[in-house]
Chain A
């Protein structure tokens, strides 16, 4: 067990956990930030996607000891109250069915739009291919990403 000082959603949080503990479980079990979901534990489903700096990463594969002073953003910290254009687009398109994978989808989508504000269909597909939606909302996810891209362009 070691103490780690983590920068999460703009705050510094201290946790006392085993060095190998994946960020996913630090967030969920120790910091009670349960918006980041467990789906597979092997970086295959994308449910646990968070931002490390500006990059979308699978938090189930990031040991807490490797984070250092890098900024972590989770779904809870993406915006104050769901105002991020991607979150707003998700509501407008009414994307979710069960909703379980959507935080991960939103985190992948927002990272994509940050580096590529108007992605093509192929670019969306490539960026979102690591996020499984078992309910099959892929067409709505794509539509919401395009809606968010347009909203950002016009803002």
Chain B
């Protein structure tokens, strides 16, 4: 049994005692204003209690034993709204059938890290969620012990029932909830043994499943309020441009249009954090009665634009100040590629150096050098950016899809001139995130429009707005070099990478630590095209490049690609180069997923006509290895199967985790194979799904199998880790299937130049 001091916990626990007062605590005050959306679907099948008793910030228990568990984090499709409450429920020892889940609003007093980012929801809250459930269980036991006048140590709690064997007493949680809520939070509690988990590690279906399949309102775009107006924005057609003037009058007369005006997001001296970014600080807002009318009016609006000048801003990123430059000018993809190639041939900044790579390369019998690249990508969440706001003189209510409510709140407060306490942010279920909704300029925009209109407003981006507004996955370029001696031994390894505007290099990740002479260098290139985190930032390119290069290297050395990686990992484990702790991976766990995938995919025994590629990568605290099977049909590569092996510690909700593994593989194959955003004269050349290609049903793998390493390590991320490595497995299988290596994404356009 793990004992844990509750004082280590969050304010959520302390809050309870200060609120408890007379003991009978009725729900949170904000629950009255925030109708529990997630709760309704489940509630249809559950009888609701007459009275709720709040035990702590994460849960309340009804007098009939029904339990409401708050899900604090934004749900973007990563299953947290199901899997986070599962953790609370397990420690509480309650039947999952009696659980109702509610989305918690932003509440920095009760919760921490209410963010969908870095695949950290589960890992950062693991302890808190367990403690929330265990504390409540302990308080219920204590309440029963006092009621029955028996020692608390003799009370058992199983599936929502408290029992005392010797006296024959027994009561449901509902019967003890009132008494439990009046107790002091215990100083110390016991967490369950991992072996005793009864909900964690079992597959539980999506708590919003029924609502999703019946089309109930769940998403930001579905928000409807009385007297709500619809707004949409017109932004410059190209990066490097800004608003000059517009003619509002003719458009104002169009049917259903209420107003047309410009909004300015931030004053020049406002110190932004990186999540406040927007390429277009001044926009034209069109406000009307219906989405279609507003979209039509936007098309009719006459706007003049002018060029921007160079802009340098000081912004903060997690408290650290940094300078960001957005140069003037209209950029295009062709120039980008030329410039990246120029930069990579000049010396980069050394990010890590072990041994003497220069001498090793000089003495090499053979040098292998390969370059890789990828384009900008738009996140393209299926639900375009949108938000709801109702701003009054002294209060702002915001509701919608955001991955970073806490980090956006100060920006909203700033532009409205309201204190933080006057801003209430609630989250809807979100139609995808992938990093796009970390950057909440749309919240600021909606708030400003609502303030001006003195009305509740829903801001809606059209798909074209969404795809051309910026915050893209950066474009990257990397060159790998390996030195081999006369006996074909690997003697040195060199990676140099850069991008617009950031480098993709993780200098201390594998194979750093496994090679004596190692050099990692990077460089950056400024742009006025805004970029941001995109599912597994940087890893989403560099994993594929590195794993393709290792594949080519293994072939050159006459080694099996899995054995080659395992040899390197053995070295990193037994005799690491550099300090072991500087190497940003655990070589044993890394090797573990490779060994598991080797076994499960029957590596080395592929059927005739099946071409296989393997890849493995570590990011966001989890390890993923994938084997991709490809067949050629009518000269077209078909992905027949993906076999994945994953080590993310304890798997909270296995079937949902498998779903993320499947989605990650499909997403990775899709983007590496088909997707890309290109620019001409500063404007994106794709603005909708007719020209921007996303993977479709017929292009997905025919089957995907996921195997998890079984261990008792605290859980780590699943949203991002399955995404990056598959790009390497795809490239390696493509080589086997076509006889040609693919280096430049999207692979569909990576063809040899036509000759003659």
Binding site for B on A (CB under 8 A): 1, 17-18, 21-22, 25, 28-30, 32-42, 44-45, 47, 74-76, 79, 81-82, 87, 90-91, 94, 96-103, 106, 121, 124-126, 128-142
Query: Is the CB–CB distance between A38 and B215 below 8 Å?
Result: no
Shortest CB–CB separation between residue B565 and chain A, in angstroms? 26
Instruction: Please encode chain B, from 362 to 393, with 1 for each CB lying within 8 Å of some chain A CB and 0 for all others.
Output: 00000000000000000011111000000000
Query: Is the CB–CB distance between A99 and B700 below 8 Å?
Result: no
Nearest 10 Cβ contacts at the A-B interface: A35-B215, A100-B431, A136-B666, A98-B77, A75-B215, A136-B663, A138-B700, A44-B689, A97-B77, A99-B212
Count of B residues near A, CB < 8 Å? 66
Shortest CB–CB separation between residue B86 and chain A, in angstroms? 14
Contacts A25-B291, A91-B213, A121-B702 known; A138 to B697 CB distance under 8 Å? Answer: yes
Shortest CB–CB separation between residue A88 and chain B, in angstroms? 8
Q: Per a CB cutoff under 8 Å, which of B215, B291, B694 touches A132?
A: B694
Query: Is the CB–CB distance between B206 and A129 below 8 Å?
Result: no
Can you name the residue of chain A whose Cβ is closest to the Cβ of B656?
A94
Q: Which residues of B contact A21 (CB under 8 A)?
A: 290, 292
Give the distance in Å from the alpha carbon of A132 to the alpha carbon of B221 in the complex. 18
Give the distance in Å from the alpha carbon of A36 to the alpha carbon of B214 in the complex. 10
Can you name the residue of chain B whose Cβ is closest to the Cβ of A44?
B689
> Which of A33, A45, A74 has most B Cβ within 10 Å?
A45
Query: Is the CB–CB distance between A74 and B292 below 8 Å?
Result: no
Instruction: Please encode chain B, from 199 to 236, with 1 for each CB lying within 8 Å of some chain A CB and 0 for all others.
Output: 00001011011101111111101101000001000000
Query: Is the CB–CB distance between A40 and B292 below 8 Å?
Result: no
A–B complex contacts, Cβ < 8 Å, 5 sampled: A37-B221, A87-B214, A100-B219, A102-B213, A134-B667
Q: Which residues of A contact B230 (CB under 8 A)?
A: 29
Contacts A38-B384, A129-B696 known; A94 to B217 CB distance under 8 Å? Answer: no
Query: Is the CB–CB distance between B214 and A35 below 8 Å?
Result: yes
Shortest CB–CB separation between residue B747 and chain A, in angstroms? 17
Query: Is the CB–CB distance between B215 and A137 below 8 Å?
Result: no
Give the distance in Å from the alpha carbon of A35 to the alpha carbon of B701 in the complex. 28
Binding site for A on B (CB under 8 A): 76-79, 203, 205-206, 208-210, 212-219, 221-222, 224, 230, 255, 290-293, 295, 380-384, 429-434, 460, 462-463, 655-656, 659-660, 662-667, 670, 688-690, 694-698, 700-704
Q: Which residues of B contact A29 (CB under 8 A)?
A: 230, 290-292
Q: Which residues of A contact B76 (CB under 8 A)?
A: 98
Give the distance in Å from the alpha carbon of A18 to the alpha carbon of B290 in the complex. 11
Query: Is the CB–CB distance between A90 and B213 below 8 Å?
Result: yes
Can you name the residue of chain A whose Cβ is closest to the Cβ of B659?
A97
Query: Is the CB–CB distance between A99 and B77 below 8 Å?
Result: yes
Give the distance in Å from the alpha carbon of A135 to the alpha carbon of B213 in the complex. 16
Query: Is the CB–CB distance between A34 and B217 below 8 Å?
Result: yes
Contacts A34-B215, A99-B431 known; A136 to B224 CB distance under 8 Å? Answer: no
Contacts A42-B690, A125-B698, A137-B662 known; A34 to B429 CB distance under 8 Å? Answer: no
Can you name the residue of chain A whose Cβ is closest to the Cβ of B76?
A98
Give the distance in Å from the alpha carbon of A33 to the alpha carbon of B215 in the complex. 8
Query: Is the CB–CB distance between A135 and B77 below 8 Å?
Result: yes
Q: Which residues of B contact A138 (CB under 8 A)?
A: 666, 695-697, 700
Shortest CB–CB separation between residue A33 and chain B, in angstroms? 8
Q: Per a CB cutoff under 8 Å, which of A17, A25, A34, A124 touches B224?
A: A34
Query: Is the CB–CB distance between A135 and B209 below 8 Å?
Result: no
Can you name the residue of chain B whose Cβ is closest to the Cβ of A106?
B213
Q: A39-B384, A139-B700 are in contact. List 12 more A-B contacts (CB 8 A).
A: A18-B292, A21-B292, A25-B290, A25-B292, A40-B463, A74-B215, A81-B214, A90-B212, A91-B210, A97-B659, A103-B213, A137-B663
Shortest CB–CB separation between residue B210 and chain A, in angstroms? 6
Shortest CB–CB separation between residue A50 and chain B, in angstroms? 10
Shortest CB–CB separation between residue B60 and chain A, in angstroms? 26
Shortest CB–CB separation between residue A63 and chain B, in angstroms? 10
Can you name the residue of chain B whose Cβ is closest to the Cβ of A137?
B663
Query: Is the CB–CB distance between B382 and A132 below 8 Å?
Result: yes
Q: Which residues of B contact A99 (CB under 8 A)?
A: 77, 206, 208, 212, 218, 429, 431
Give the distance in Å from the alpha carbon of A117 to the alpha carbon of B132 in the complex. 49
Q: Which residues of A contact B224 (CB under 8 A)?
A: 32, 34
Query: Is the CB–CB distance between B218 and A129 below 8 Å?
Result: no
Shortest CB–CB separation between residue A109 and chain B, in angstroms? 11
Shortest CB–CB separation between residue B137 and chain A, in angstroms? 28
Query: Is the CB–CB distance between A100 and B690 below 8 Å?
Result: no
Query: Is the CB–CB distance between A44 and B659 below 8 Å?
Result: no
Q: Which residues of B contact A97 (CB under 8 A)?
A: 77-79, 659-660, 663
Can you name the residue of chain B whose Cβ is closest to the Cβ of A89?
B213
Give the distance in Å from the alpha carbon of A17 to the alpha carbon of B293 in the complex. 10
Q: Which residues of B contact A34 (CB under 8 A)?
A: 215, 217, 221-222, 224
Query: Is the CB–CB distance between A45 and B689 below 8 Å?
Result: yes
Query: Is the CB–CB distance between A94 and B662 below 8 Å?
Result: no
Shortest CB–CB separation between residue B690 and chain A, in angstroms? 5
Q: Which residues of A contact B203 (CB under 8 A)?
A: 94
Contacts A99-B431, A125-B698 known; A136 to B209 CB distance under 8 Å? Answer: no
Shortest CB–CB separation between residue A34 and chain B, in angstroms? 4
Contacts A134-B432, A137-B663 known; A37 to B656 CB distance under 8 Å? Answer: no
Give the distance in Å from the alpha carbon of A89 to the alpha carbon of B695 in the complex. 23
Give the distance in Å from the alpha carbon of A132 to the alpha carbon of B383 in the complex. 12
Q: Per a CB cutoff under 8 Å, which of B205, B291, B663 touches A91?
A: B205
Shortest CB–CB separation between residue A72 and chain B, in angstroms? 13
Q: Which residues of A contact B222 (CB under 8 A)?
A: 34
Can you name the residue of chain A whose Cβ is closest to the Cβ of B78?
A97
Query: Is the CB–CB distance between A82 and B432 below 8 Å?
Result: no
Can you name the residue of chain A whose Cβ is closest to the Cβ of B696?
A129
Contacts A38-B384, A47-B382, A140-B659 known; A94 to B205 CB distance under 8 Å? Answer: yes
Q: Per a CB cutoff under 8 Å, which of B689, B700, B703 touches A136?
A: B700
Give the distance in Å from the alpha carbon of A151 to the alpha carbon of B707 in the complex. 28
Shortest CB–CB separation between residue B118 and chain A, in angstroms? 18
Give the distance in Å from the alpha carbon of A42 to the alpha carbon of B519 in the complex. 49
